[in-house]
Copies of this chain bind each other. A is one copy, B any other.
């Protein structure tokens, strides 16, 4: 019976369910640590809690990651890698310039909304003045192809005469990120101060198009006859 179940489980996964699995253990610790740090920050993040939630002894954390700081760095590396992968689903090449810009804006907005823990983690790293991201060789080598994607869209748009020349893709990316990031990161204080709604589905949907609009109005060429689709409520 027990043996039967065991065998069944073993059949599912090719390498028989090993109690000792370096990769799996590492990954599970990382996953839990991500949640823990995103929730409570670096100082607030508790290694005892991580160990408990990951079903490992605390010692294992230090066995694999040496110190809490290094664990945090590893978490950051994982988070950024995931984001990088997500950005690859973003295909702007096939779209008209305006559609591409709007797609870009909505994609970024959706990503931040869907991954508040990521937003929190980045925020926390900034509180620490980016010292982990700066110290991580892996993170420094990790390129973010999204900027070249943006650059390509801008170039195409300028060529077609619908986007004005001289826009720096990094600056554009920064503006977009600022707008989307803020909607998640600063939600609580902003809502409290201005009795604004940034949490309901309706408010988010509105904000989403608002940001796309903002971005498009910023890049579009208004010299001569700018035939734009930017009209809404």
B127 engages A192 (CB within 8 Å) = no
The CA of A147 and the CA of B190, in the complex, are separated in Å by 12
Say yes or no for A9: interface residue by CB 8 A criterion: no
B186 and A175 within 8 A (CB): no
Residues of A within 8 Å of B, CB-based: how many? 57
Which B residues are in CB contact (< 8 Å) with A194?
144, 147, 170, 173-174
Contacting A179 at CB < 8 Å: which of B170, B175, B210? B175
Q: How far is the CB of A134 from chain B (nearest CB, A)?
A: 5
Copies of this chain in its oligomeric complex? 2
**Which secondary structure characterizes the binding site on chain A?**
helix
The CA-CA distance from A140 to B194 in the complex, in Å, is 9
- What are 27 sample pairs from A and B whose C-beta atoms fall under 8 A apart? A41-B41, A41-B44, A43-B44, A44-B44, A120-B127, A123-B127, A123-B185, A125-B188, A125-B189, A126-B185, A126-B189, A129-B188, A130-B189, A133-B188, A133-B192, A134-B188, A166-B233, A170-B196, A174-B182, A174-B194, A174-B198, A175-B214, A177-B190, A178-B182, A181-B182, A182-B182, A218-B218
Residues on A facing B (Cβ under 8 Å): 40-44, 80, 120, 122-127, 129-131, 133-134, 139-140, 142, 144, 147, 166, 170-171, 173-175, 177-179, 181-183, 185-194, 196, 198, 207, 210-211, 213-214, 217-218, 222, 226, 233
